[in-house]
Amino acid sequence: MTKDQVSQFEKKMIIRNIDTEDIDRIIALQDLCFPNMHPWTREQMESHIRIFPDGQICVELDGEIIGSSSSLIVHFEDYLEQHTYSEITDKGYIRNHNPLGESLYGMEVMVHPDYRRMKIGRRLYEARKRLAEKLNLKSIIVGGRIPGYHKYNGTLSPREYAEEVLQQNIYDPVLTFQMMNGFTLKRIITNYLSDDQDSMNYAALLEWNNIDYKPSSSKIHYKRSFPVRICVIQYMMKKIDSFDEFATQCEHYVDVAADYKSDFAVFPENVTMQLLSFLEERSPSSAVRKLTTFTSQYVELFSELAVKYNVNIIGGSHFIEQNNRIYNVGHLFRRDGTIARQYKLHISPNERRWWGINGGSRLEVFDTDCGKISIQLSSDIEYPELSRIVAEEGAQLIFVPFCAEDRPTFLRVKYCAQARAIENQVFTVTAGTVGNLTHVDNVDIQYAQSGIYTPADFSFPRDGIAGECSENTETVIMAEVDMEILQRHRKSKDVLTFRDRRTDMYTINRS
C-alpha cells in the first residue's frame, strides 16, 4: 500500500487551547452533551479565554470539536467546604481565577456522544494533569456530578451511593470515570449545581494530587497576611533650574520610601511639568512638546531609582510624543528593572485646549511582585467602568496619580477613588501635586490631599482611610494594606459588593 493509499485512512486529532472562534461550536456541543442544563453563554466563554486561556482545552478531530474541558486556578481554602458551583466559578465568569493559587479547579469536561469510546475524556484529563505539572500546582480539584444517583434516591444516601460506586457495585458515568483517572473522594457537596436534576443537586468533591509538586515561596497563600507598604508623595511644584535638581528632589522621596521599606512609591500626575519652570517657552502647546524631549532622561532616572532603592515606583505621568501626537502617560517602574505604561484615556477639556493632549486606547492591568495593579490617571478614576474591568481581571490596587488646580476638581478624584474602593472591594491610592508654578501657564496653582483608601467594612480602618496627607502640604504618608485580608473579605464577609453584582442583568465588556 502506497503512502497516498495510506493517507486516506489518516485522521488528525489535535488537543489545543480553545479560542474565540470556537465558542459557538463549544456551546452547541454543550447543548448536545447536557440537554437539560444551561450551557455557557458567549460572554462567559469569552471571559474564560481572556482570563485563563491555558485552562480552556478542546479536542479536535478532522476539524470537528468533539470534546472540551474548562478550568481555573483557585486557593481552595478561600472557599467553604460546602461551596456551590456558582461560587467556585464566579457565576461562570471565572473572574476569581487566582494565578497564585495552588489548585486547578475543573469546571467541566464534555465529550460528543458519538465519540465516547475513543478515550477523549481521558485525553482531556491528561492534558489537565500536564497543565497542573507545568504550572507547579499542588492538585486538581473537581466537583464531580453523580448523574446516576437519581435512580437510587430514597434507597441510598449520596455518601452510600458514592461508596457503592467506589466498590464498583454501581457504575456512574462520571464518578467511575474520575476514579479510574486517579481522583480520590474527599466529601459529598450538597446544593452544588441547581439544574443538575440527575445528581439531585449533589456532587462528589474529588482531588488528584501532583506528586511532582514543589512548594514555592511565591505561593503567598501560605501566609496569614500579605502586607504591602505604600509611600504616597504629595509633591511640591516649585521653581527649579535644571533636570538634575528635579532628579535630586525625586531621589530624596524614593530614598524616604526605601528607608521605610515601602513596596511602592507613588508620584503625582504631571510631575515632570516642574521642568517647565526653567524652559523658556510661554506657549503651552509648544512647552509641552519641548517637555517630551526629556522622556529618555525621565525614564532612565526612575528606572534606576526603582532598582537602586528596591521600590516599585508609580512615576506619576509624563507627556510623550508619538506620530506627532502628545499623550499623557503613567509609568510603572518595577524594582526588577522592567517598565510598563498606561496612557490616560479620558482627556479633560483643559488638557485638550491648552496642550492638545490625545487619549489612549488601551486599559492595562500590570503584574507586580505584590499582585496585579492598575494605573488610572486623574479623571480616569471618575469613570467606574474602568475600575470594574480591572477588578474583574484581578487588580487589587488601583493607583490614581492626579493633578488638580482647585478643591472641586480634587474632590471629584477623591470621592470617586473612595467609591471605586467600595464598589470593587479594592484598595485605591491617590497622589497629587501641591505648590505653585506662577510663571507656567495652566500649572500655576495646585490643590491636593493625597490618600490611601480601603473598602468600608470592619476588616479595614475606620472611615475606609488607611492614610491621608494634610491638605496642600509637601509631605509623604506611609500605610500598609493587606492583600490577604482583602482577598478573604471579597469572599466571606457580610458586604460583598463585588461578588454579588447582578451579572444576570448587566455586564461590562472590553471592546
Residue that has been written with the C-alpha cell 492591568 in this structure: 365
The closest alpha carbon to 453, from 444, 463, 445, 443, belongs to 463
pLDDT bin (cut points 50, 70, 90) of residue 425 is very high
Q: pLDDT digit string (tens) for 226-243?
A: 889 999 999 999 999 999
Bridge partners of 267, per DSSP, are: 315
pLDDT bin (cut points 50, 70, 90) of residue 5 is very low
Q: pLDDT digit string (tens) for 317-344?
A: 999 999 989 999 999 999 989 999 999 9
DSSP 224: S
User: Strand 357-358 relative to strand 64-74: parallel, antiparallel, unpaired?
Assistant: unpaired
Helices (H), 1-157: 3-7, 23-33, 42-51, 85-88, 120-134
pLDDT of residue 132: 95
CA distances to 85, 112, 121, 130, 365 from 125, in Å: 19, 15, 6, 9, 31
List Cβ neighbours of 210 (8 Å cut-off, separation of 6 or more). 129, 132, 133, 136, 137, 138, 139, 140
User: At residue 222, what is the residue type?
Assistant: Y
The structural domains of the chain, with segments of one domain joined by +, span 11-209, 225-492
pLDDT bin (cut points 50, 70, 90) of residue 217 is low
**Architecture of 225-492 per CATH?**
4-Layer Sandwich (3.60)
**pLDDT of residue 223 exceeding 50:** no
User: Strand 264-267 relative to strand 312-322: parallel, antiparallel, unpaired?
Assistant: parallel
DSSP 220: G
3-state secondary structure of 290: helix
Q: pLDDT digit string (tens) for 342-379?
A: 999 999 888 888 788 999 999 999 989 898 999 999 99
Bridge partners of 402, per DSSP, are: 432
Helix axes 23-33, 42-51, angle to 10 degrees: 120
H, E, C per residue of 37-72: CCCCCHHHHHHHHHHCHHHCEEEEECCEEEEEEEEE
What single string gives the DSSP state of each residue in 226-286? -EEEEEEEEEEE---SSHHHHHHHHHHHHHHHHHTT-SEEEEPTTGGGGGGGGS---SHHH
pLDDT bin (cut points 50, 70, 90) of residue 3 is very low
pLDDT bin (cut points 50, 70, 90) of residue 494 is low
Q: How many helices (H) and strands (E) does the chain have?
A: 14, 20
**pLDDT of residue 293 exceeding 90:** yes
What single string gives the DSSP state of each residue in 391-439? HHTT--EEEEEE--SSHHHHHHHHHHHHHHHHHHT-EEEEEEEEEB-TT
Greater pLDDT, 2 or 162? 162
* 8 Å CB contact between 483 and 459: no
List Cβ neighbours of 148 (8 Å cut-off, separation of 6 or more). 161, 165, 170, 171, 172, 173, 175, 198
Q: What is the mean pLDDT of residues 278-300?
A: 86
The closest alpha carbon to 446, from 475, 415, 404, 412, belongs to 404
Query: What CATH number has the domain spanning 11-209?
Result: 3.40.630.30
Please check whether the two domains, 11-209 and 225-492, share a CATH topology: no
User: Strand 366-368 relative to strand 371-375: parallel, antiparallel, unpaired?
Assistant: antiparallel
